[in-house]
Amino acid sequence: MTPRIAIIGAGTAGLACAIALAREGAEVDVFERHPTLAPVGAGMLIQPGGLLALRELGALDAFAQASVPIHRLEGRSHRSWLLVDIPYAQDLPARAVTRPAMTRVLQQRAGELGVRLHLDAPIAALEPSRDRVLLRWGEHEQVYEGAVIASGSGSDLAQQCGLSAPTSPYAWGALNGMISVADWQWPTILHQRMHGPRKLFGLMPCSYTGAQLDIAMFWSLPVARHAQWQESDLETWKAELVRFWPQSRPVVDQIRDHSQFSFATYRHAWPKRLAQGRICLVGDAAHAM
């Protein structure tokens, strides 16, 4: 008998888990509450271990075409003191990718394996029993042999199933944008600049659009100040960025409007356990902030 597995959440963890289960012969349904796949954030860094996982999933070749190599992660203080210096092996570097591109790679591979993706399908409840799990969404219900909660730290399903304590919002968020530049002298380095725990500025090359390099930009910001930032003078903020890190000017000069940035918020999650019976947690639902 072919096991039927439900995965709640079509983010990176959910889709990767769907691929792995489908490769093992399971019949997999992925439920995503949003009407489209719209990952939050600009870019992500996949470490060498993640590349090995993508190879096992049969998605490495497609991922390599959608990403760029990162040979070094460098973090410096606002005084340019070197705080973090992580070189990667030339034959197995880390790779950076935009979040939409990562989603496309995983979605395509999942489709090749027969994974069914259900959009606009928020799961209202999981009802486990000894040998099955009942899913309820809208006016629908379906029985599965197992369920994977991959719906992020903000999902309440883990709490409903007794796998997690209540979550709480994290006070800090992040502005994320993708900025294209014609000339950048560090196309294979992820740079971070920080001032204590309250300022973090990151620039990570992620892809090419023609001759231009697309760089993911990250700027930490308290959630309580986001609305104020949206109404603030953009040139004043850009001047602050350049003062903080003068070498960032080629990127900062390409900032034209607040709308170039999305804002990501985070939550503290406290899983009590990662699995119970026929239900398990993966991704942001499975670890603390």
Interaxial angle between packed helices 12-23 and 48-57, expressed in degrees from 0 to 180 and rounded to the nearest 10: 40
Residue 178 has pLDDT above 90, yes or no: yes
Give the mean pLDDT of 226-249: 98
What is the pLDDT, as a whole number, of residue 56? Answer: 98
What is the pLDDT, as a whole number, of residue 134? Answer: 96
The answer to whether the pTM exceeds 0.75 is yes
Question: Do 48 and 93 form a contact (C-beta atoms < 8 A)?
Answer: yes
What is the pLDDT, as a whole number, of residue 247? Answer: 96
Question: Do 76 and 82 form a contact (C-beta atoms < 8 A)?
Answer: yes
Confidence of residue 117 (pLDDT cuts 50, 70, 90): very high
> What percent of the chain has a predicted confidence (pLDDT) above 70?
99
Tokens of 173: 């968020």
Q: Which residues of 141-159 are buried (b: 16+ CB within 10 A; e: fewer)?
A: eeebbbbbbbbbbebebbe
Residue position matching structure tokens 């796949």: 37
What is the pLDDT, as a whole number, of residue 289? Answer: 63
Alpha-carbon gap, residue 134 to 232, rounded angstroms: 49
Alpha-carbon gap, residue 160 to 212, rounded angstroms: 47
Q: To which CATH superfamily is domain 4-70+95-165+269-286 assigned?
A: FAD/NAD(P)-binding domain (3.50.50.60)
Q: How far is CA 63 from CA 18, 51, 68, in A?
A: 17, 9, 9
Alpha-carbon gap, residue 193 to 96, rounded angstroms: 18
Confidence of residue 133 (pLDDT cuts 50, 70, 90): very high
Question: Do 223 and 173 form a contact (C-beta atoms < 8 A)?
Answer: yes
Q: With the CA atoms of 92, 97, 100 and 102 taken in that order, what torsion angle do they form, in degrees rounded to the nearest 10?
A: 0
| Three-point CA angle 199, 39, 150, nearest 5° | 100
What pLDDT digit, counting tens, does each position of 31-65 carry?
999 999 877 778 999 999 999 999 999 999 999 99
Alpha-carbon gap, residue 26 to 110, rounded angstroms: 12
Give the mean pLDDT of 88-106: 94
What is the pLDDT, as a whole number, of residue 288? Answer: 67
Alpha-carbon gap, residue 49 to 92, rounded angstroms: 9
What is the pLDDT, as a whole number, of residue 268? Answer: 86
Q: Using only C-alpha atoms, what is the Rg of the chain?
A: 20
Residue 67 has pLDDT above 80, yes or no: yes
* Residue-averaged pLDDT of the chain: 94
Q: Three-state DSSP class for 157?
A: helix
Tokens of 257: 């409007």
What pLDDT digit, counting tens, does each position of 74-94 carry?
999 999 999 999 999 988 899
Give the mean pLDDT of 152-173: 89
What is the pLDDT, as a whole number, of residue 41? Answer: 72
Q: Three-state DSSP class for 139?
A: coil
Given this structure, which CATH class describes domain 172-264?
alpha beta
- 54, amino acid identity: L
What is the pLDDT, as a whole number, of residue 182? Answer: 94
What is the pLDDT, as a whole number, of residue 220? Answer: 97
Q: Three-state DSSP class for 75?
A: strand
- β-strand 199-209 against 212-222: which pairing, if any? antiparallel
| Spans of all domains in the chain | 4-70+95-165+269-286, 172-264
Question: Do 70 and 43 form a contact (C-beta atoms < 8 A)?
Answer: no
